[in-house]
Amino acid sequence: MSQLLRVQNFTVSSDGFGAGEHQSLERPFGTADPGRLMAWLLATASFPHRAEPGGSRGLDDCLVRDFGTNIGAEIMGRNKFSPHRGPWTDLEWQGWWGDEPPFHTPVFVLTHHPRPSFTLSDTTFHFVDGDPATVLGTVKEAAQGRDVRLGGGATTIREFLDADLVDTLHVAVVPLELGSGARLWESPDELLDRFHCDVVPSPSGVTHHLFWRK
Amino acid sequence: MSQLLRVQNFTVSSDGFGAGEHQSLERPFGTADPGRLMAWLLATASFPHRAEPGGSRGLDDCLVRDFGTNIGAEIMGRNKFSPHRGPWTDLEWQGWWGDEPPFHTPVFVLTHHPRPSFTLSDTTFHFVDGDPATVLGTVKEAAQGRDVRLGGGATTIREFLDADLVDTLHVAVVPLELGSGARLWESPDELLDRFHCDVVPSPSGVTHHLFWRK
């Protein structure tokens, strides 16, 4: 079986935004409240940074568990990795995830401002510049036969969708309007010419959209 | 996190039967037509014995992929392993799954008629006798910190449910009546005193029931 490029657990507002405007160190999701946007994910037993025991083990949890299944590497945008823009002024910044990032594979950060790779626990971050197809070729090699996860944000996912490189997408739509920010879509229907889609309402209130290539 | 005992992808008819009567070598599911009972599973891209490429990658596939996630061992009933009953007359029988069984872990077959263990590819089959709690203790040790899958059939799952040893159950209910056979339940509501349950209709026509302990 060929290696897939997969989006997992990407969460957007009902009007299609993955984050609000004005991302900063204090507000990784900008004007969007991550506690509300990510509530479905935070409530699951398998959420990687879950502090206390407990949590749901139903539909949402099954999708959260799928985050790492057969994944050999991740591609993420610069804005997922860091609140900073432009040339790196602070190489001390090593991402939002502390000493034990939840990736457990190589992670490739797209940026026009390369910097040296570094390793935290079992995750190594690399910094790459290039068009989506070229970067994907490099990352598939690093994934050693397993799939590649496209981690977001919205702008990065759009670039790979526009280059027709995405094989499957799981997007959780939250009943919450943001009005502005980083937009994934105007409507999920935009993808139906190229993808099958299962639309699955969860008892938690989010609606999972599971797309796969026609 | 403690080790869970999990049922994955167990499929029953709308009246609660996991297989029809009169199981035999020719009819592993007895009077039930496996092509109809298991159609939802066979249509997914991740079904382990899938012959040709293609297949769906939506909700059903996500649940099928979860079959092996963090699983370290399986427990199955004698009737899942073999169509034979009583003392073993044919040690040549090594299960239904050919040279490459889809388990990839130790598998413990419950039987009053022990026989020597054997290995096919990366799956070793052991044969054990004992009450559910004692067997589960042995199997958790073999799973080396990972979860244990309870593989069925219906009678075996009932025994572990009655002993209150099951932590999560995924049951797919197929819109098809069998009328008789190996019964899991009269109704899924029987479990609601002890379990939370997400009831999730799939676009494929089956209804997934995802139970987890209260």
Residue of A nearest to B203 (CA): A198
Report the CATH number at residue A21.
3.40.430.10
Please give the pLDDT value at position B66. Answer: 95
Residue of A nearest to B8 (CA): A62
Give CA–CA dist B14/B11, Å, rounded.
Answer: 10
Rounded to an integer, the average pLDDT of B101-117 is: 96
CA–CA distance from A47 to each of A12, A102, A172, A201, B200 (Å)?
A: 17, 9, 15, 20, 21
Please give the pLDDT value at position B41. Answer: 94
Domain that holds residue A194: 5-213
What token pair was written down for A142?
């690093």
Rounded to an integer, the average pLDDT of B102-112 is: 97
- Contact at CB, A62 and B58, closer than 8 angstroms: no
- pLDDT > 70: percent of chain B: 100
In a domain, B137, yes or no: yes
In a domain, B126, yes or no: yes
In a domain, B33, yes or no: yes
State chain A's maximal CA–CA distance in angstroms.
45
Q: Does pLDDT of B30 surpass 90?
A: no
pLDDT band of residue B195 (cuts 50, 70, 90) is: very high
What token pair was written down for B85?
């009953």
In a domain, B94, yes or no: no
- Contact at CB, B196 and A59, closer than 8 angstroms: no
Please give the pLDDT value at position A1. Answer: 52
Please give the pLDDT value at position A29. Answer: 87
Report the domain count for chain B.
1
Q: What ipTM was assigned to the predicted interfaces of this complex?
A: 0.91
Supply the pTM of this predicted model: 0.93
Q: Is the peptide bond before A153 cis (omega within 30 degrees of 0)?
A: yes
Convert the pLDDT of each residue in B33-67 to its tens digit. Answer: 888 999 999 999 999 877 778 899 999 999 999 99
Please give the pLDDT value at position A26. Answer: 84
Give CA–CA dist A121/A56, Å, rounded.
Answer: 27
In a domain, B135, yes or no: yes
In a domain, B90, yes or no: no
In a domain, B92, yes or no: no
Mean pLDDT in order along chain A per 10 residues (214 residues)? 92 95 85 90 89 90 95 96 89 92 97 95 97 98 97 96 98 96 96 98 97 97
Q: Are strands B107-110 and B168-174 parallel, antiparallel or unpaired?
A: unpaired
Q: Is the peptide bond before B153 cis (omega within 30 degrees of 0)?
A: yes
Q: Which positions in chain A touch B199 (Cβ < 8 Å)?
A: 203
Q: Which of B3, B50, B57, B167 to substitute to test the interface with A, most A CBs within 10 Å? A: B57
Q: What is the mean pLDDT of chain B?
A: 94
DSSP per-residue string spanning A164-204: T---EEEEEEES----SSEES-S-GGGGTTTEEEEEEE-TT
Convert the pLDDT of each residue in B119-156 to its tens digit. Answer: 999 999 999 999 999 999 999 999 999 999 999 999 99
